[in-house]
Structure 1
Protein backbone atom coordinates (compact mmCIF):
# COMPACT_ATOMS: atom_id res chain seq x y z
CA UNK A 1 0.00 0.00 0.00
CA UNK A 2 1.22 3.45 -0.69
CA UNK A 3 1.51 6.31 1.74
CA UNK A 4 -1.17 8.44 0.06
CA UNK A 5 -3.73 5.67 0.61
CA UNK A 6 -3.08 5.75 4.35
CA UNK A 7 -3.16 9.56 4.44
CA UNK A 8 -6.60 9.49 2.80
CA UNK A 9 -7.87 7.07 5.42
CA UNK A 10 -6.44 9.23 8.20
CA UNK A 11 -8.03 12.38 6.81
CA UNK A 12 -11.46 10.71 6.46
CA UNK A 13 -11.48 8.98 9.85
CA UNK A 14 -9.29 11.26 11.93
CA UNK A 15 -7.53 8.18 13.28
CA UNK A 16 -3.75 7.94 12.87
CA UNK A 17 -2.76 4.78 11.02
CA UNK A 18 -0.24 3.99 13.75
CA UNK A 19 -3.16 3.54 16.16
CA UNK A 20 -5.04 1.33 13.70
CA UNK A 21 -1.95 -0.84 13.17
CA UNK A 22 -1.34 -1.03 16.93
CA UNK A 23 -4.93 -2.19 17.49
CA UNK A 24 -4.71 -4.74 14.67
CA UNK A 25 -1.50 -6.08 16.19
CA UNK A 26 -3.08 -6.28 19.64
CA UNK A 27 -6.04 -8.21 18.24
CA UNK A 28 -3.83 -10.54 16.21
CA UNK A 29 -1.77 -11.59 19.23
CA UNK A 30 -4.44 -11.35 21.93
CA UNK A 31 -5.22 -14.14 24.32
CA UNK A 32 -8.99 -14.39 23.95
CA UNK A 33 -9.25 -16.22 27.25
CA UNK A 34 -7.76 -13.24 29.14
CA UNK A 35 -10.55 -10.95 30.36
CA UNK A 36 -8.15 -8.07 30.99
CA UNK A 37 -6.87 -8.14 27.42
CA UNK A 38 -10.40 -8.29 26.03
CA UNK A 39 -11.41 -5.23 28.05
CA UNK A 40 -8.36 -3.32 26.82
CA UNK A 41 -9.14 -4.13 23.20
CA UNK A 42 -12.82 -3.20 23.56
CA UNK A 43 -11.83 0.14 25.12
CA UNK A 44 -9.33 0.82 22.33
CA UNK A 45 -11.95 0.12 19.66
CA UNK A 46 -14.40 2.42 21.42
CA UNK A 47 -11.78 5.15 21.63
CA UNK A 48 -10.84 4.81 17.96
CA UNK A 49 -14.52 4.83 17.00
CA UNK A 50 -15.00 7.87 19.25
CA UNK A 51 -17.78 6.01 21.01
CA UNK A 52 -18.31 5.60 24.73
CA UNK A 53 -18.67 1.96 25.74
CA UNK A 54 -20.90 1.68 28.81
CA UNK A 55 -19.75 -0.76 31.49
CA UNK A 56 -22.69 -3.12 30.91
CA UNK A 57 -21.93 -3.25 27.16
CA UNK A 58 -18.26 -3.94 27.86
CA UNK A 59 -19.29 -6.71 30.26
CA UNK A 60 -21.57 -8.27 27.63
CA UNK A 61 -18.85 -8.12 24.98
CA UNK A 62 -16.29 -9.71 27.29
CA UNK A 63 -18.72 -12.49 28.30
CA UNK A 64 -19.54 -13.17 24.66
CA UNK A 65 -15.89 -13.33 23.61
CA UNK A 66 -14.87 -15.51 26.55
CA UNK A 67 -17.88 -17.81 26.09
CA UNK A 68 -17.21 -18.35 22.40
CA UNK A 69 -13.50 -18.82 23.02
CA UNK A 70 -12.64 -17.62 19.58
CA UNK A 71 -10.87 -14.64 18.19
CA UNK A 72 -12.76 -11.61 17.00
CA UNK A 73 -11.80 -8.93 14.59
CA UNK A 74 -12.34 -5.19 14.52
CA UNK A 75 -15.51 -5.59 12.44
CA UNK A 76 -17.00 -8.00 14.99
CA UNK A 77 -16.45 -5.56 17.85
CA UNK A 78 -17.74 -2.59 15.85
CA UNK A 79 -20.86 -4.60 15.02
CA UNK A 80 -21.39 -5.38 18.69
CA UNK A 81 -21.09 -1.68 19.47
CA UNK A 82 -23.72 -0.87 16.87
CA UNK A 83 -21.34 1.18 14.76
Structure 2
Protein backbone atom coordinates (compact mmCIF):
# COMPACT_ATOMS: atom_id res chain seq x y z
CA UNK A 1 0.00 0.00 0.00
CA UNK A 2 1.37 3.43 -0.90
CA UNK A 3 2.20 6.06 1.71
CA UNK A 4 1.48 9.16 -0.35
CA UNK A 5 -2.09 10.46 -0.10
CA UNK A 6 -2.59 10.95 -3.84
CA UNK A 7 -1.23 7.46 -4.54
CA UNK A 8 -3.68 5.99 -2.00
CA UNK A 9 -6.55 7.80 -3.76
CA UNK A 10 -5.28 6.56 -7.12
CA UNK A 11 -5.33 2.94 -5.90
CA UNK A 12 -8.94 3.35 -4.75
CA UNK A 13 -10.12 4.89 -8.02
CA UNK A 14 -8.24 2.28 -10.04
CA UNK A 15 -9.97 -0.52 -8.11
CA UNK A 16 -13.38 1.09 -8.73
CA UNK A 17 -12.66 1.50 -12.44
CA UNK A 18 -11.37 -2.07 -12.70
CA UNK A 19 -14.55 -3.43 -11.10
CA UNK A 20 -16.70 -1.33 -13.44
CA UNK A 21 -14.70 -2.43 -16.49
CA UNK A 22 -14.98 -6.10 -15.54
CA UNK A 23 -18.75 -5.76 -15.09
CA UNK A 24 -19.26 -4.03 -18.44
CA UNK A 25 -17.03 -6.51 -20.28
CA UNK A 26 -18.77 -9.45 -18.65
CA UNK A 27 -22.21 -8.08 -19.57
CA UNK A 28 -21.00 -7.56 -23.14
CA UNK A 29 -19.77 -11.14 -23.44
CA UNK A 30 -23.04 -12.47 -22.01
CA UNK A 31 -25.12 -10.37 -24.42
CA UNK A 32 -23.07 -11.54 -27.41
CA UNK A 33 -23.28 -15.18 -26.30
CA UNK A 34 -27.07 -14.98 -25.82
CA UNK A 35 -27.59 -13.27 -29.18
CA UNK A 36 -25.39 -15.83 -30.93
CA UNK A 37 -27.29 -18.73 -29.38
CA UNK A 38 -30.65 -17.17 -30.24
CA UNK A 39 -29.63 -16.55 -33.85
CA UNK A 40 -28.41 -20.12 -34.28
CA UNK A 41 -31.61 -21.53 -32.73
CA UNK A 42 -33.74 -19.03 -34.72
CA UNK A 43 -35.63 -17.90 -31.62
CA UNK A 44 -38.35 -15.23 -31.71
CA UNK A 45 -36.47 -12.76 -29.50
CA UNK A 46 -33.25 -13.01 -31.53
CA UNK A 47 -33.65 -9.48 -32.93
CA UNK A 48 -33.98 -7.99 -29.44
CA UNK A 49 -30.97 -9.92 -28.18
CA UNK A 50 -28.99 -8.87 -31.26
CA UNK A 51 -29.85 -5.23 -30.59
CA UNK A 52 -28.73 -5.56 -26.96
CA UNK A 53 -25.48 -7.22 -28.03
CA UNK A 54 -24.70 -4.47 -30.53
CA UNK A 55 -25.42 -1.82 -27.91
CA UNK A 56 -23.15 -3.48 -25.36
CA UNK A 57 -20.37 -3.90 -27.95
CA UNK A 58 -20.58 -0.21 -28.86
CA UNK A 59 -20.53 0.77 -25.19
CA UNK A 60 -17.47 -1.38 -24.48
CA UNK A 61 -15.68 0.03 -27.53
CA UNK A 62 -16.47 3.61 -26.54
CA UNK A 63 -15.12 2.98 -23.03
CA UNK A 64 -11.93 1.51 -24.49
CA UNK A 65 -12.50 -1.96 -23.06
CA UNK A 66 -12.21 -3.54 -26.50
CA UNK A 67 -10.81 -2.16 -29.73
CA UNK A 68 -13.34 -0.53 -32.06
CA UNK A 69 -12.37 -2.92 -34.86
CA UNK A 70 -12.94 -5.92 -32.58
CA UNK A 71 -16.42 -4.60 -31.79
CA UNK A 72 -17.11 -4.01 -35.48
CA UNK A 73 -15.89 -7.50 -36.38
CA UNK A 74 -18.08 -9.12 -33.72
CA UNK A 75 -21.13 -7.12 -34.85
CA UNK A 76 -20.49 -8.11 -38.47
CA UNK A 77 -20.32 -11.79 -37.54
CA UNK A 78 -23.57 -11.54 -35.60
CA UNK A 79 -25.30 -9.70 -38.46
CA UNK A 80 -24.09 -12.34 -40.90
CA UNK A 81 -25.85 -14.99 -38.82
CA UNK A 82 -29.03 -12.89 -38.70
TM over 0.5: no
Larger Rg computed on CA atoms: 2
Greater helix percent: which structure? Answer: 2
TM-score by length of 2: 0.39
TM-score by length of 1: 0.38
